[in-house]
Chain A
Amino acid sequence: MSGQPPSPTRRRLLMAAPLVVAGGVGVGFWRMLSGMTKGSFDPHDIHAPALNRPVPDFALPDQAPGSGFSAQDLRALKAPVLVNYFASWCIPCVAEMPVLNALKEKLPIWGIAYKDRPEHALGFVQRAGNPYARIAADRDGLAAIDWGVSGVPETFLIGPGGVIRWHTASPITETMITRTIMPLADSLKS
């Protein structure tokens, strides 16, 4: 530079730099926000490590009106199954029940009642119209920790051989089913 004032192009570039940075940040935020509304980006979906690994070892007792199940039952599967952690005291769980009821014909759903009294879980399932093919009870919530569950509802798509193929920590929606769960489940069947 040797004392010359910066050339006009250089000055213009320097002036534009903050605008470019702000623009880049803006586009980033816009993509995150639009992803959140579309469901492709979920900031609460914090634990992907469960994916593509076999289900943890567990054996849980029956929860009326269903029969309990264990890791062996899931590992013996030949077709995909949705495993849904729920509780009678959980409001979002109530909200997702109609969606699960609509799904149960296409994809079997196995429920696990999380930290719930047996009679409360039974009442909840009966009121909701029971979307579950089997229901187990995780009364102390310790099997849930092995699954990496941090709250209810949480849902896992289990592929043949008991491998976790998909997971969400938010209530199941119609969009999730049509866009993600069913395409994935169909691809796992073949």
Chain B
Amino acid sequence: MMKNPFPRRGGVLALLACLLFAPIMAMAVDDPSEMLPDPAQEQRAEAIGAQLRCLVCQNESIEDSSADLARDLRHVVREHVAKGESNQQIMAWMVSRYGNFIRLRPPLTIGTLLLWIMPLLALGIGIGVAWWTFRRPRAPTPAPLSDEERRRLSDLTETRRE
């Protein structure tokens, strides 16, 4: 468990023993014996596990994590798969114990509505801002020059040319 920052001394001893007897011992580290014998069931279990958050590492799925709790959860998922439960049933079983937090893909609820619609919302705001900016008329075209102004202008330009 992650709450204990110190490894168990038993673990170190076991590791040493493993290294010592490696040639004669089948190593069991995150081992294949966890897997279900039926490949189709194992594949389903992996797919379910990939959707479940490891509550210790929090950003890894239980299939990716090597935390003890993740291993236990993988075991539980496989037990349920072997019993023939559907993906939905297994998900519901997990959620009833650990809450929606265990789902890496949060369900659409009032609480997660903002999260789910944020891409659309951001796009909408962007389009709105762009539309509002482009719709704004540029500086109004000035009124045509009056005769007086025209005369003055030509006077000025004439003067320049001389």
Contact = CB atoms under 8 A, between A and B. Distances in A.
Interface of A: 1-3, 46-50, 56, 87, 89-92, 115, 117, 140-142, 145-148, 150-153
Contacts of B99: 46-49, 148
Interface string B102-118: 10000000000000000
Interface residues of B, number: 27
A150 B5 contact: no
Contacts of A89: 1, 4, 6, 8
B36 interface: no
The 9 A-B residue pairs with the shortest CB-CB distance, nearest first, are A150-B55, A148-B97, A47-B99, A46-B101, A151-B3, A49-B99, A3-B137, A151-B1, A47-B98
Contacts of A145: 72-73, 76, 97
A115 B68 contact: yes
A147 to B, nearest CB: 8
A163 to B, nearest CB: 15
A49 B4 contact: no
Given A2-B137, A91-B6, A151 B69 contact: yes
B103 to A, nearest CB: 12
A30 B85 CA distance: 45
A115 B72 CA distance: 11
